[in-house]
């Protein structure tokens, strides 16, 4: 089995973990700064904190949440292509395209966060994913 289709998925997993650490590295000091003691906090969710921290801190958590949403479809699609043997060179290029675009989307959202540009990165990555999903469907029917 050719595993080259799995590399972009593995790279996106690693990127998601980098975003997790980036989020924690900005959120924890921000919480301390506004007087929230995590050792005494009860209940709540990360989204409950967002109104109390600077937007640039909240953007990282928003992006991390985004990396737990649509990319799950990407991971399933990549696995279907890998297991079915339906991955082509085009599939691998699209998978890398998806991964690179999601990383650019993350960096943009976590730093600049101009929504119009962010949407373009999202749209382009979604086009890559849509083509991959159709390829996965065709490989299995």
Q: Where exactly are the structural domains of the chain?
A: 6-140
Q: pLDDT confidence of 1, banded at 50, 70, 90? A: low
- Mean pLDDT of all residues in 51-66: 94
- Mean pLDDT of all residues in 120-141: 98
Task: Report the alpha-carbon distance of residue 57 to residue 101 in Å, rounded.
Answer: 22
Beta strand residue intervals within the chain, DSSP E: none
C-alpha to C-alpha distances, 22 to 19, 29, 56, 60, nearest whole angstrom: 5, 12, 12, 7
State what percent of residues in the chain have pLDDT above 70: 99
CATH number of 6-140: 1.20.120.550
Residue 126 in 3-state DSSP?
Answer: helix
pLDDT in tens, 75-125: 999 999 999 999 999 999 999 999 999 999 999 999 999 999 999 999 999
C-alpha to C-alpha distances, 112 to 41, 62, 97, 115, nearest whole angstrom: 30, 13, 21, 9
Q: What is the mean pLDDT of the chain?
A: 94
């Amino acid at each position: 089995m050719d595993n080259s289709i799995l590399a972009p998925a593995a790279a996106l997993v690693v990127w998601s973990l980098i975003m997790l650490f980036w989020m924690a590295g900005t959120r924890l000091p921000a919480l301390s700064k506004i007087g929230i003691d995590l050792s005494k906090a009860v209940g709540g969710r990360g989204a409950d904190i967002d109104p109390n921290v600077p937007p640039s801190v909240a953007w990282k958590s928003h992006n991390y949440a985004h990396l737990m949403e649509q990319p799950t479809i990407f991971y399933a699609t990549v696995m279907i292509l890998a297991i079915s043997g339906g991955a082509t060179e085009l599939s691998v290029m699209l998978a890398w395209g998806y991964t690179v675009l999601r990383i650019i989307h993350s960096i943009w959202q976590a730093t600049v966060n101009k929504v119009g540009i962010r949407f373009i990165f999202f749209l382009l990555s979604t086009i890559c994913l849509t083509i991959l999903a159709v390829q996965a469907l065709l490989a299995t029917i």
